[in-house]
């Protein structure tokens, strides 16, 4: 039995207490860890890749890269990166492609599975012009024109609702205006796809700025999520949201927090990575796939996860485990009436997702369950491709981190992208 499952076999009241205490402690000791952490990690002998940011990683492996800053309408500053393979300079495929990460991740996640396997590398190798976005609250998007994330709790008043309304459109506009084109293609993993649907519902004109959406294990309604540890943590956070907010704990699972630093340290040691770190991950997602994630990828992903998000966002996921619809954050009846004009939070209009959509998912995904995928697919008006990965053990993490990405999801992603890159060039001329 894995460590996580054992932890969650005990009663829920004790778990709640422990989690709340851990979050309080982590928040208090967090700030001391920020300075000099690179020096310390170098001294402790970390693999050099663990110390590099997006640009440095791209450059190290021979790719050219750019750093840009997107400003959202409500003042958040988000980094967006661009990666290109140098051999492609004269024949880069168009339109540009935008990648969006999942919850508690950042743009770095697309690199974790190393060159030849990680999707950002594979896309660049096929000469796609890949832009890699970040969503507010993670370590590349923890800045604002006027709000200070360390002092102003209102910085953290957001969930998927605002990310889909502001961040995704702002990033799309930025890429389009930089490239002087009218459309792009979009690949979203988990929350990165869910936020795209939010955008289409609330700002349908942005849906039309995208030629193709590839949703990898897209997270919308999570009613059938099987993972017990995941359900427990999210339910606890949702239940204790008011209490934690009172204690000024508005940011959760930040990079360089005590917890993340400790876990990163343990997981870069080969001796621990499989028995502890791999089993912990598999316990958390409640679905194992032995040998799928290499030691190198495990240590990379633990150095980037958790990348930080808001308490509100996690609480909203807690709500979505118990809702029948893909809907907005529930403030409680009184506030809902003020904010939404109805006692219940409104559902997102998935009929407005008018563009061609391809969905790729795993049968062994216990976070985004296949039943919720079917529910989503029924609601979407223009699904042109639906693919369950042939490997029956394919789970939520494999899509980003498996060493088998090249043989499983990549051929499908590549095939559809090529089709839409060509189609766009033809209609343009
Ligand atoms: C990445 O590291 C380089 C080199 O230290 C630095 O110039 C750059 O600002 C960093 N980028 C981000 C987004 O932190
Ligand atoms: C990825 O897979 C394709 C086809 O299976 C193969 O041609 C290619 O060499 C692989 N790339 C890497 C880097 O392994
Ligand atoms: C949802 O979107 C569709 C397509 O744009 C539109 O026809 C329909 O009226 C919308 N429904 C609601 C409730 O707004």
Q: Which domains does the chain have, with CATH numbers?
A: 63-250+310-425 (3.40.50.1820)
Question: SS3 of 296, please?
Answer: helix
Ligand approaching nearest to the C-alpha of 53: 1
Distance of CA 284 to the CA centre of its chain: 16
Going from the Cα of 36 to the center of ligand 2, the distance in angstroms, rounded, reads 39
To test the ligand 3 pocket, which listed residue (208, 327, 352, 382) has its Cβ within 8 A of the most ligand atoms? 352
**How far apart, in whole angstroms, are the C-alpha atoms of residue 230 and residue 271?**
26
- Active site (annotated) includes residue 365: yes
- Annotated active-site residue in 101, 144, 304, 396: 396
**How far apart, in whole angstroms, are the C-alpha atoms of residue 17 and residue 105?**
26
In this prediction, residue 5 carries a pLDDT of 52
Q: What is the mean pLDDT of residues 43-68?
A: 93
Question: SS3 of 188, please?
Answer: strand
In this prediction, residue 425 carries a pLDDT of 45
Q: What is the mean pLDDT of residues 416-429?
A: 65
Q: What is the mean pLDDT of residues 250-255?
A: 88
Going from the Cα of 406 to the center of ligand 2, the distance in angstroms, rounded, reads 6
Residues with CB under 6 A from ligand 1: 53, 55-56, 67, 79, 140
Confidence band for 34, pLDDT divided at 50, 70 and 90 = low
**How far apart, in whole angstroms, are the C-alpha atoms of residue 307 and residue 305?**
5
Q: What is the mean pLDDT of residues 313-330?
A: 97
Query: Helical H runs in 203-257?
Result: 204-207, 228-239, 241-246
pLDDT, tens digit, 9 for 90 and up, residues 366-404: 999 999 999 999 999 999 999 999 999 999 999 999 999
Residues with CB under 6 A from ligand 3: 204, 349, 351-352
pLDDT, tens digit, 9 for 90 and up, residues 113-166: 999 999 999 999 999 999 999 999 999 999 999 999 999 999 999 999 999 999
Q: What is the mean pLDDT of residues 351-380?
A: 98
User: Which residue's alpha carbon is at the smallest distance from atom 1 of ligand 1?
Assistant: 53
Going from the Cα of 93 to the center of ligand 1, the distance in angstroms, rounded, reads 27
Q: Is the CB of 116 under 6 A from ligand 2?
A: yes
User: Which residue's alpha carbon is at the smallest distance from atom 13 of ligand 3?
Assistant: 349
Q: Which atom of ligand 3 is nearest to the CA of 349?
A: 1
Distance of CA 384 to the CA centre of its chain: 23
Query: CA dist 156 to 46, 177, 294, Å?
Result: 32, 28, 34
In this prediction, residue 28 carries a pLDDT of 63
């Amino acid at each position: 039995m894995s460590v996580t499952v054992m932890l969650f076999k005990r009663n829920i009241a004790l778990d709640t207490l422990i989690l709340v205490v851990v979050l309080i402690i982590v928040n208090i000791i967090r700030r001391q860890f920020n300075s000099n952490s690179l020096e310390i990690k170098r001294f402790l002998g970390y693999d050099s890749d663990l110390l590099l940011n997006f640009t440095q990683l791209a450059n190290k492996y021979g790719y050219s890269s750019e750093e840009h800053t997107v400003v959202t309408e409500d003042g958040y500053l988000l980094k967006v990166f661009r990666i290109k393979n140098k051999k492609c300079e004269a024949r880069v495929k168009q339109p540009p492609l935008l990648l969006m990460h999942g919850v508690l991740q950042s743009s770095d996640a697309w690199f974790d599975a190393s060159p030849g396997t990680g999707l950002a590398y594979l896309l660049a190798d096929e000469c796609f012009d890949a832009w890699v976005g970040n969503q507010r609250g993670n370590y590349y998007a923890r800045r604002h024109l006027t709000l200070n994330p360390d002092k102003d709790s209102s910085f953290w008043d957001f969930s998927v609702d605002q990310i889909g309304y502001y961040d995704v459109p702002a990033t799309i506009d930025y890429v389009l205006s930089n490239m002087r084109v009218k459309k792009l293609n979009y690949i979203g993993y988990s929350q990165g796809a869910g936020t795209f649907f939010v955008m289409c519902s609330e700002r349908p004109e942005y849906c039309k700025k995208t030629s193709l959406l590839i949703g990898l294990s897209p997270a919308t309604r999570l009613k059938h999520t099987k993972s017990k540890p995941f359900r427990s943590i999210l339910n606890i956070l949702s239940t204790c949201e008011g209490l934690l907010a009172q204690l000024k704990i508005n940011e959760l699972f930040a990079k360089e927090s005590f917890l993340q630093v400790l876990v990163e340290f343990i997981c870069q040691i080969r001796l621990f990575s499989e028995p502890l770190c791999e089993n912990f991950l598999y316990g958390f997602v409640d679905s194992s796939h032995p040998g799928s994630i290499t030691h190198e990828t495990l240590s990379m992903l633990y150095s980037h996860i958790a990348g930080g998000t808001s308490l509100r966002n996690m609480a909203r996921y807690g709500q979505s485990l118990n809702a029948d619809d893909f809907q907005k954050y529930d403030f409680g009846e009184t506030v809902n009436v003020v904010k939404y004009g109805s006692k219940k939070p409104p559902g997102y209009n998935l009929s407005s997702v008018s563009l061609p959509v391809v969905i790729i998912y795993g049968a062994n995904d216990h976070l985004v369950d296949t039943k919720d995928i079917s529910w989503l697919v029924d609601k979407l008006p223009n699904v042109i491709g639906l693919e369950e990965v042939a490997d029956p053990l394919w789970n939520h993490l494999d899509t980003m981190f498996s060493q088998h990405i090249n043989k499983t999801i990549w051929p499908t992603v590549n095939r559809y992208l090529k089709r839409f890159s060509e189609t766009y060039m033809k209609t343009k001329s």
